[in-house]
Amino acid sequence: MKSLQKIGLSLFLMIGTGAFAQELDANLQLRPRYEYRNGFKELMKDGSLPTSFVSQRSRLNFNFKQDKLKAKLTFQNIRVWGDVATTATADKNGVALFEAWAQYDFNAKWSAKVGRQVLSYDNQRIMGEIDWAQQGQSHDAALISFKPTNHQLDLGFAVNSDAEKLYRDLYTTSYKHMQYAWYHTSFSNLNMSLLFLNVGFQYKEVPTNELEVDNMQTFGTYLSYKKNKFDSNLGVYSQTGEGKLVTENTSINALYAGLNLSYSITDKFKAGLGYEYLSGKDQDDTDSKIKSFNPIFGTNHAFNGFMDYFYVGNYKNTVGLQDLFAKLTYTSNKWQFNAMPHAFMTAADVIDPTDTTKKMDSYLGTEIDLTASYAFHKDINITGGYSQMFGSDTMEVLKVGNKGYDNNWAWVMISVNPRIFTTAK
């Protein structure tokens, strides 16, 4: 926190004599979150005990605007309470740069942005901020935007390396390069987006040790419709390209579809139904193709249950997933309550490990998610939740553990977001 204080003080001194044409806004976020994990991400194992901890995000945001120029700096520290001694002389994680970008508006339609930035589109299923994760997600990228009336086209580019170098060598920190195009328009009550995303991953070829790059393409559409008390959205995406499966190069052929329908029964109560399909690969499929869909940069915690059994740093190149769910929302004054039950099934066959001639039931289990939030103050929000997983025999095979245990998860989070300085009038 001393580093954040020094950064903030330095910036305040720098703009102490700022011109009136400039606008500077500074705000702070403190977000401690308590979690009790007893079967989170995977079923509890025999002999394992539940755990609990408090993690905290501390962010300092600076937003600058002057004529056609905009810029943003966001510093953050991510910690777990107690990860350093009370007399520590240094922080374990230090201060990281979450955002650092500048944007120039050439005119009302054209703009360009470069630097560390959040890339978030539509419902964040393919590209999102992952705000639930204390560290979030941001990219080093360049972005060109074209925004005529009722249309928007974003073109994004990135190329990554882990240091300044004299010679080429293997890069594995993240993706090697990325290019994407996102187009959005609307027709009365219907909104439509189109996405094409190409991501390249570098690897070393065996046995030649040649450096190669496999490219994966994700492309599709996201549609949303809202009229009166009814709203819905539909996402359909396909993945192609090349992948690495153990030591064998292979092609990618995967699909995704997601549908949500909701209706506002009253001003306070809303009900909805939804279904998601993420393709997978049968366990007895000898084809070398990768058939499992990968929501590559998505805010996956917001989908397929809050207990993060699927696609949150796990479940890659598996039998896929079907998720049938409902959502009930009740809002009253400063309170909001949500209940979301999920029924999970595989999208491809699971082979019984005790008898390889048999296929197991596709049903994985049922998860119940309950959440509540309270607007305690204009700058303070309190949220919490409880989730319970009722796993099946098939879940035990895919997520090694014991379905007979009381697999659950609970959390409480306080988000404090005060504005600490502004020159805006």
Given a cut of 70, whether residue 364 has pLDDT beyond it is yes
Given a cut of 80, whether residue 247 has pLDDT beyond it is no
Question: Which amino acid, 387?
Answer: S
Phi/psi of residue 8, each to 5°?
-60, -45
Instruction: Note the pLDDT of residue 3.
Output: 57
Q: pLDDT-derived band of residue 424, with 50, 70 and 90 as boundaries? A: confident
3-class SS at 14? helix
Go through the domains of the chain in sequence order and give each one's CATH number. Answer: 2-422 (2.40.160.100)
Instruction: Note the pLDDT of residue 17.
Output: 45
Instruction: Note the pLDDT of residue 416.
Output: 98
Q: What rounded mean pLDDT belongs to the chain?
A: 93
Given a cut of 90, whether residue 12 has pLDDT beyond it is no
Q: Which residue is listed with tokens 């079923």?
A: 43
- CA dist., res. 73 & res. 79, Å (int): 20
* 193 contacts: CB under 8 Å, gap ≥ 6: 121, 122, 182, 183, 184, 221, 222, 223
Instruction: Note the pLDDT of residue 209.
Output: 87
- CA dist., res. 346 & res. 164, Å (int): 44
| pLDDT, tens digit, 9 for 90 and up, residues 248-284 | 668 999 999 999 999 999 999 999 999 999 999 999 9
- CA dist., res. 254 & res. 239, Å (int): 5
Q: pLDDT-derived band of residue 205, with 50, 70 and 90 as boundaries? A: confident
The model carries a pTM of: 0.91
Given a cut of 70, whether residue 2 has pLDDT beyond it is no
- CA dist., res. 343 & res. 326, Å (int): 9
DSSP assignment of 23-48 equals EEEEEEEEEEEEEEEESSSSPPPTT-
- CA dist., res. 357 & res. 362, Å (int): 16
Instruction: Please choose, from the candidates 339, 227, 327, the residue with its C-alpha nearest in 3D space to the C-alpha of residue 272.
Output: 327
